């Protein structure tokens, strides 16, 4: 038990023992001193020194006579076992006389115990019993009592008192007239408590006791849920019980309390305890903020009780939570013995949180001529206060090695046909656990047809030496010979795509890809690569020509307006880069922080990645799916206001007899996550009223590939439908910045051509569109390398086909996301000669980003900016297929079109 975690809890100063008068040096004086002449300075210093000495002496005296005697209020929460008492049902009701009788015996015993401990006895104020519980195993005794004790202790004795309270002890009360037996208590253990969490017996207004009935789920919620917010500055508690030999399963079905902030005293907090006493070493979880629906909020108890507390410290108005619980027979064993060539297993109650205080063992055995390996697909055993590199609390043990924390997929192999996996959870904090698969393999060829990482994982052969780390230990990128036509050889011999040279990101690991890009000493490097004397940085002049020398200065100054400076509504221009909606008022008229209801998700807690590239519900609430009549999902778009969306112009060009330019042919689905659930509760379906293609759009070069779509009827903002922020004309998305692409575009490379050229040149003839209705995507003639618009019109069938993704080359059912990185424009122009215009931007996969996937034409590039707000960097325009990691995708730049959008829509 980690008592040390608990010792730091709040202690409250007694009112009559304040620390006033211990200020040694009046702070204001120092400033005045700096401004005076040297002689006065010396005199003042001497005076100050004298004052300091006097203050120190006084301080010491004050400390001795006053502070040493300061009494602090300390409250301890604890529980104890009554070893020779039978449990009566009436003990569950704190109003019953039986409860009162037993409680007074416990209080008497506690008082007796404290009187024998010098650090406690004289300072004990009161104790109270909050609950009793039937013990499950007779060897443990029969009744558990939960109590709290309050002390008023001199400050200097606090640590000693905490040590004394944490010790296990036995107390015996002699037999009474009516009772024949001794009254024996053992294991009196208590922990310092936050006095605010103590529910005094006088205040039962928000205290609830619930007992499970059979397997029936029982619901409870915060007061007023969901119609009114829970009251401010409240304390509530729910005592949940089940029958003996049962355990409880608790699920928060809806959860929205004030957002989490720094320390727990600043926000509202819901805590679940595997106990009836709010003691920190039995806390299963602490919750605040809002959670997306995919986040699993199911918790299991180890015994037949749970305690849920709500401590509201703020005045914020939030609906609170709705929860339900039921009982189920206590786990008799955990783990199993597994046989066969392959199979899967999970931690108990996965994907819910595994119970505390369990040891599970899986004994795995495969046919005797084979070896066995275990692949942990998802692994979450994360707990607070676990030192890095240790697994002192919960862990999984395989082959004698312990694993804990949050880990991406990993493999543990055995040199024989047997392997043992053990899960251990301690008494506090549980997580969702793991999903694992075991497989037998041939020790002479562990990865048939594939490359084996040193970690044991098998990856596609093509991924070896391609510049991306596919093995977590980089073993696929070791001992490679780089292909100089598209790769850079790092000093450490890694091969990296050329377009990552000089992009301000250390891709090699030894920084050699960024080495010869830097400016000489005492120079500043502009975002456009120019080198300038350091003195020109933050001098209020745009010396770089792109404003980057003035972008990150402490003081924001008003400068001459250029195309790279932000212009406030009052016409003044700022030196600061990207000042819009960053949470700081930079314009004197505040116009940079106006119209900022955009770019924020509704859920304050980030969902756990449940399957690599699948987006979470509500993660990209501005993403829109556009369906063309009879063709299903065809293009993406982004929401910028209740009525307007941004998309790509090439989606709305008539082709092969279909009038894609006709707004009536389209339906927009907003708040959509799963293409099969277009009638789902969070989804808003709208027709289009107007399509505004950019007048300069060129369907040959794809220059100006942007369109605005007006909805027939405005949408309502909700947890799944919200607008993205539009960047100002001056907004910069620097080379190397990681941004997100989303869409239902193709998830795997199909049999489509892979060239990225929009020009039908002899070297890369333009594809002949063939069977869009069938494949949904512009196919190329065999052998002809050619062009296709990004993810154009994959044509999802109107009826669901299968769960998860469609076969290679077709569209995804669940919204996909991929992290990509902005590529240097000069490099981009070299990679795609004569195809890149100033309206276009190249973005490529991240180093190590495995199989990030393309979005749909018209979909947004989402860039997380200062203050966590998300701005749209671009529109998916054209480029390469999925898994083509060494070729960038091309996107329409958004800042270029800010004024055009304003002109057309008023947004
Ligand atoms: C205890 O009695 C009070 C009023 O006397 C009542 O409001 C409360 O519900 C009772 N509690 C239980 C657990 O029966
Ligand atoms: C959470 O886990 C529980 C227990 O395994 C499961 O019944 C429930 O469906 C899961 N909920 C979500 C949202 O995944
Ligand atoms: C689990 O195993 C550890 C030793 O590995 C032991 O200390 C602990 O008591 C066990 N817990 C349970 C619930 O059996
Ligand atoms: C390098 O890559 C290019 C294009 O992928 C290929 O044509 C060429 O043969 C490769 N060169 C070597 C030496 O592997
Ligand atoms: C950088 O330039 C120096 C001198 O021109 C050269 O010796 C060195 O190899 C270069 N480094 C890289 C990583 O290209
Ligand atoms: C882009 O790369 C070129 C050389 O490839 C370099 O001169 C320039 O500074 C780079 N630009 C940025 C913004 O890093
Ligand atoms: Ca734990
Ligand atoms: Ca690789
Ligand atoms: Ca780099
Ligand atoms: Ca600002």
Report the range of poorest mean pLDDT among 137-141, 202-206, 610-614, 826-830.
137-141
Mean pLDDT of 820-829: 88
Amino acid 401: pLDDT? 93
Q: Does residue 637 register a pLDDT over 90? A: yes
Most confident among 8-12, 104-108, 716-720 (mean pLDDT): 716-720
More confident residue, 828 or 193: 828
Mean pLDDT of 10-34: 33
**pLDDT tens digits along 392-451:** 999 999 989 999 998 888 899 898 999 999 999 999 999 999 999 999 998 888 888 899
Q: Could you list which residues have their CB under 5 Å from ion ligand 8? A: 463, 466, 468, 470, 476
Q: Confirm whether 650 is a catalytic residue.
A: yes
Q: Confirm whether 124 is a catalytic residue.
A: no
DSSP string, 621-680: TTEEEEEETTTEEEEEEEE-SSSEEEE-GGGGS-BTTB-TT-GGGEEEEES--BTT-TTS
Amino acid 435: pLDDT? 95
**Mean pLDDT value across the chain:** 80
The percentage of the chain sitting over the pLDDT mark of 90, rounded to a whole number, equals 35
Placement of tokens 């195809």 in the chain = 835
pTM of the model: 0.75
At 400 the three-state DSSP class reads: coil
Number of the ligand 1 atom closest to the C-alpha atom of 93: 13
Mean pLDDT of 166-181: 65
Sign of CA dihedral 734, 882, 756, 769: negative
Dig out the tokens for 687 from the structure. 């027709």
Is residue 257 classed exposed, middle or buried when 0-12, 13-18 and 19+ CB atoms within 10 A define those classes? Answer: buried
Return d(Cα 171, Cα 164) in angstroms, integer: 14
**Residue whose C-alpha is closest to residue 691's, from 669, 668, 675, 717:** 668
Number of the ligand 3 atom closest to the C-alpha atom of 302: 13
Placement of tokens 């040390």 in the chain = 4
Is the CB of residue 513 below 6 angstroms from any atom belonging to ligand 5? no
* C-alpha distance from residue 781 to each of 177, 289, 500, 787 (Å): 101, 53, 32, 11
Sign of CA dihedral 857, 863, 868, 870: negative
Amino acid 608: pLDDT? 65
Q: Confirm whether 591 is a catalytic residue.
A: no
Q: How confident is the model at residue 773 (pLDDT cuts 50, 70, 90)?
A: very low
Contact 567, 577 (CB under 8 A): no
Mean pLDDT of 582-594: 92
Angle between the N-to-C axes of helices 38-65 and 27-35, in degrees from 0 to 180, rounded to the nearest 10: 170
Dig out the tokens for 801 from the structure. 């086909």
Is the CB of residue 359 below 6 angstroms from any atom belonging to ligand 3? yes
Return d(Cα 267, Cα 261) in angstroms, integer: 6
Name, in order, each residue with C-beta under 8 angstroms of 689's C-beta and a sequence gap of 6 or more: 663, 710, 711, 712
Q: How confident is the model at residue 68 (pLDDT cuts 50, 70, 90)?
A: low
Sign of CA dihedral 735, 739, 744, 750: positive
DSSP string, 242-294: --TTEEEEEEEEEEE-SPP-SSGGGS-EEEEESSSS--GGGEEEEE-SB--TT
CA dihedral 694, 695, 701, 702 (to 10 degrees): 10
Region at 108 (left for phi over 0; alpha for psi -120 to 50; beta for the rest): alpha
Q: Does residue 776 register a pLDDT over 70? A: no
Is the CB of residue 825 below 6 angstroms from any atom belonging to ligand 6? no
Ligand 6 binding pocket mutation candidate from 498, 503, 517, 548 (most atoms within 8 A of CB): 517
Name, in order, each residue with C-beta under 8 angstroms of 35's C-beta and a sequence gap of 6 or more: none
Pairing of strands 235-241, 207-211: parallel
Report the range of poorest mean pLDDT among 140-154, 237-251, 262-276, 768-782.
768-782
Mean pLDDT of 296-302: 95
Is the CB of residue 886 below 6 angstroms from any atom belonging to ligand 5? no
The percentage of the chain sitting over the pLDDT mark of 70, rounded to a whole number, equals 79
Return d(Cα 102, Cα 99) in angstroms, integer: 5
Helix, strand, coil percent content, the chain, rounded in steps of 5: 15, 30, 55
Residue with CA at minimum distance from ligand 6 atom 7: 529
Is the CB of residue 734 below 6 angstroms from any atom belonging to ligand 6? no
Q: How confident is the model at residue 58 (pLDDT cuts 50, 70, 90)?
A: low
Pairing of strands 320-329, 246-256: antiparallel
Expressed in angstroms and rounded, the spacing between residue 355 Cα and the centre of ligand 3 is 13
Ligand 2 binding pocket mutation candidate from 215, 322, 351, 380 (most atoms within 8 A of CB): 351
Q: Does residue 831 register a pLDDT over 60? A: yes
Q: How confident is the model at residue 154 (pLDDT cuts 50, 70, 90)?
A: confident
Contact 314, 266 (CB under 8 A): yes
**pLDDT tens digits along 228-253:** 999 888 889 899 999 888 999 999 99
**pLDDT tens digits along 362-375:** 999 999 889 999 99
Q: What is the CA radius of gyration of the chain?
A: 33
Is the CB of residue 854 below 6 angstroms from any atom belonging to ligand 2? no
């Amino acid at each position: 038990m980690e008592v040390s975690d608990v010792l730091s809890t709040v202690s409250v100063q007694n009112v009559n023992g304040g620390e006033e008068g211990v200020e040694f040096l009046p702070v204001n004086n120092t400033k005045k001193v700096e401004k005076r002449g040297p002689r006065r300075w010396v005199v003042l210093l001497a005076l100050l020194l004298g004052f300091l000495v006097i203050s120190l002496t006084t301080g010491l005296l004050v400390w001795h006579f006053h502070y040493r005697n300061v009494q602090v209020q300390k409250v301890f929460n604890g529980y104890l076992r009554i070893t020779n008492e039978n449990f009566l049902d009436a003990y569950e009701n704190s109003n019953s006389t039986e409860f009162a009788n037993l409680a007074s015996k416990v209080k008497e015993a506690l008082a007796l115990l404290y009187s024998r401990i010098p650090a406690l006895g004289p300072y004990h104020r009161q104790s109270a019993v909050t609950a009793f519980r039937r013990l499950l195993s007779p060897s443990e005794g029969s009744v558990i009592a939960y109590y709290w004790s309050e002390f008023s202790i001199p400050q200097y004795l606090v640590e000693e008192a905490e040590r004394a309270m944490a010790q296990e002890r036995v107390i015996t009360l002699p037999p009474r007239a009516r009772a024949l037996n001794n009254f024996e208590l053992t294991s009196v253990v208590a922990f310092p408590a936050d006095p605010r969490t103590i529910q005094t017996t006088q205040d039962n207004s928000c205290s609830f006791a619930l007992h499970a009935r059979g397997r029936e789920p029982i619901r409870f919620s915060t007061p007023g849920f969901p119609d009114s917010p829970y009251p401010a500055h409240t304390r509530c508690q729910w005592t949940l019980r089940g029958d003996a030999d049962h355990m409880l399963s608790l699920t928060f079905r809806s959860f929205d309390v004030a957002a989490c902030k720094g320390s727990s005293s600043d926000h509202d907090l819901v805590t679940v305890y595997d106990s009836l006493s709010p003691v920190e070493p039995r806390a299963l979880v602490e919750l605040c903020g809002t959670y997306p629906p995919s986040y699993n909020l199911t918790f299991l108890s180890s015994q037949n009780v749970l305690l849920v507390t709500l401590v509201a410290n703020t005045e914020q108005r939030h609906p609170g939570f709705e929860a339900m619980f039921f009982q189920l027979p206590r786990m008799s064993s955990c783990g199993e013995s597994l046989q066969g060539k392959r199979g899967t297993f999970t931690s108990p109650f996965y994907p819910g949180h595994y119970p505390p205080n369990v040891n599970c063992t899986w004994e795995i055995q495969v046919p005797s001529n084979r070896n066995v390996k275990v692949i942990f697909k998802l692994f979450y055993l994360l707990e607070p206060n676990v030192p890095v590199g240790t697994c002192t609390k919960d862990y999984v043990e395989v082959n004698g090695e312990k694993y804990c924390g949050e880990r991406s997929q990993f493999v543990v192999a055995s040199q024989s046909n047997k392997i043992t996996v053990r899960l251990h959870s301690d008494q506090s904090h549980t997580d969702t656990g793991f999903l694992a698969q075991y497989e037998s393999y041939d020790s002479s060829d562990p990865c048939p047809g594939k490359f084996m990482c040193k970690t044991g994982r098998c990856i596609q052969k093509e991924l070896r030496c391609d510049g991306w780390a596919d093995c977590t230990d980089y073993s696929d990128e070791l001992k490679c010979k780089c292909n100089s036509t598209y790769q850079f050889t790092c000093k450490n011999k890694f091969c990296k795509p050329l377009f990552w040279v000089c992009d301000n990101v250390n891709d090699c690991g030894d920084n050699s890809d960024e080495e010869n890009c830097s400016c000489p000493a005492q120079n500043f490097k502009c975002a456009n690569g120019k080198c300038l004397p350091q003195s020109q940085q933050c001098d209020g002049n745009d010396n770089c020509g792109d404003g980057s020398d003035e972008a990150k200065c402490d003081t924001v100054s008003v400068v001459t307006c250029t195309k790279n400076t932000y212009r406030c509504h009052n016409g003044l221009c700022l030196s600061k880069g990207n000042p819009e909606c960053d949470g700081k008022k930079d314009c004197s008229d505040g116009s940079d922080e106006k119209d900022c209801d955009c770019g924020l998700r509704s859920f304050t807690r980030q969902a756990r990645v449940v399957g690599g590239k699948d987006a979470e519900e509500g993660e990209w609430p501005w993403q829109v799916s556009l369906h063309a009549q009879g063709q299903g999902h065809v293009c993406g778009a982004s929401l910028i206001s209740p009525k307007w969306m941004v998309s790509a112009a090439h989606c709305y060009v008539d082709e092969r007899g279909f009038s894609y330019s006709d707004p009536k042919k389209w339906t927009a689905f907003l708040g959509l996550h799963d293409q099969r659930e277009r009638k789902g509760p969070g989804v808003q379906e709208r027709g289009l009223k107007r399509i505004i293609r950019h007048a300069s759009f060129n369907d040959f070069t794809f220059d100006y590939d942007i369109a605005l779509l007006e909805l027939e009827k405005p949408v309502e903002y909700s947890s799944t439908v919200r607008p993205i922020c539009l960047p100002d004309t001056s907004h910069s998305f620097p080379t190397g910045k990681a941004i997100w692409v989303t869409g239902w575009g193709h998830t795997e490379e199909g049999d489509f051509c892979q060239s990225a050229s929009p020009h039908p040149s002899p070297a890369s003839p333009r594809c002949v569109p063939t069977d869009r209705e069938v494949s949904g995507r512009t196919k190329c003639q065999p052998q002809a390398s050619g062009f296709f618009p990004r993810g154009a019109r994959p044509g999802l069938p109107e009826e669901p086909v299968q769960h998860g993704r469609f076969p290679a080359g077709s569209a995804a059912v669940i919204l996909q996301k991929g992290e990509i990185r902005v590529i240097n424009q000069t490099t981009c122009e070299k990679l795609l000669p004569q195809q890149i215009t100033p309206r276009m931007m190249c973005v490529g996969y991240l180093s190590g980003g495995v199989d990030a996937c393309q979005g749909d034409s018209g979909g947004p590039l989402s860039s997380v900016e200062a203050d966590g707000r998300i701005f749209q960097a671009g529109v998916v325009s054209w480029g390469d297929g999925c898994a083509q990691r060494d070729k960038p995708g091309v996107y329409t730049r958004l800042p270029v079109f800010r004024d055009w959008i304003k002109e057309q829509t008023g947004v």
